[in-house]
Amino acid sequence: MATPRAASPAVDDSGRHARFRTVFEREFDYVWASLRRLGVHPRDLEDVAQDVFVHVHRRLDSYDASRPIRPWLFAFAARCASDWRRLSRHRVELLGIDTQAADGTPSADALVERLQDADLVVRALDFVDADRRAVFILHELDECPMKEIAEALDLPLFTGYSRLRVAREEFTAAIRRLRPPKGGQ
């Protein structure tokens, strides 16, 4: 007598695979930029981004589709960046200007200035404590509401606001220290 067949896992996984592929294709650039802002060195971005999406794949079924996806993804990115920083080989970082080409018609001087500003922001973020940096990036750069940030990072709401306030102070102080004096003063 033949035993009944169970539902094929391939059938059950096809919808999940399609959802993951959609998230990956739509949000890869966001995760990449978030990791860079979290201090992951360009040479390691590909590996750390892969780690993020491995975690996303594992936890995709727990994602509440009624909520914005970027704070949820950022929480994974923040954890993976934190894990990356804990590795002893990453304790000393090389700082350099991101040399991605611009796609417009700005003058060479404008392009250099924009690259220097972007580099200044990334370097200044390195001076912000990692826990506060995550809140700062989500709120100030990604423009997420604090309630979503607190939920994504599993923080009490007022702790999120407190971290944001201190992160702003640390970031401002770092910009002042790192910005070259204007006019040779």
Report the CATH number at residue 31: 1.10.1740.10
Together in a domain, 40 and 111: no
What CATH number does residue 135 fall under?
1.10.10.10
For residue 56, give the nearest of 33, 25, 84 by alpha carbon.
25
Q: Kindly state whether residue 83 falls inside one of the protein's structural domains.
A: yes
Instruction: Verify that 110 and 78 share a domain, yes or no.
Output: no
For residue 143, the model assigns a pLDDT of 86
CA 136 to chain centre: 11
Domain of residue 163 covers: 106-185
Residue 143 lies in a domain: yes
Amino acid 39: pLDDT: 84
Length of the chain: 185
pLDDT of residue 115: 63
CA 73/CA 180 separation, integer angstroms: 35
Boundary-marking domain end, from 88, 117, 152: 88
Report how far residue 51's alpha carbon sits from residue 71's, in angstroms, rounded to the nearest whole number.
Answer: 17
pLDDT in tens, the chain (185 residues): 554 444 444 446 788 889 999 999 999 999 999 998 888 888 899 999 999 999 999 999 998 888 889 999 999 998 898 888 777 454 444 344 444 444 455 666 665 666 667 778 888 888 999 889 999 999 988 888 999 999 888 999 999 999 999 999 999 999 899 887 765 55
Instruction: Note the pLDDT of residue 72.
Output: 92
What pLDDT score was predicted for residue 146? 93
Whether residue 175 contacts residue 124, with contact meaning beta carbons closer than 8 Å, is answered with yes
Distance CA 32, CA 170 (A): 24
pLDDT of residue 108: 66
CA distance 70 to 23: 10
Cα–Cα distance measured from residue 108 to residue 110, given in angstroms and rounded to the nearest whole number: 5
Q: How many C-beta atoms surround the C-beta of residue 139 within 10 A?
A: 20
Contact between 38 and 137 under an 8 Å Cβ cutoff? The reply is: yes
At residue 46, the pLDDT reads 93
Q: Which of 44, 47, 49 is nearest to 34 (CA)?
A: 49
77 and 146, same domain (yes or no): no
pTM of full prediction above 0.85: no
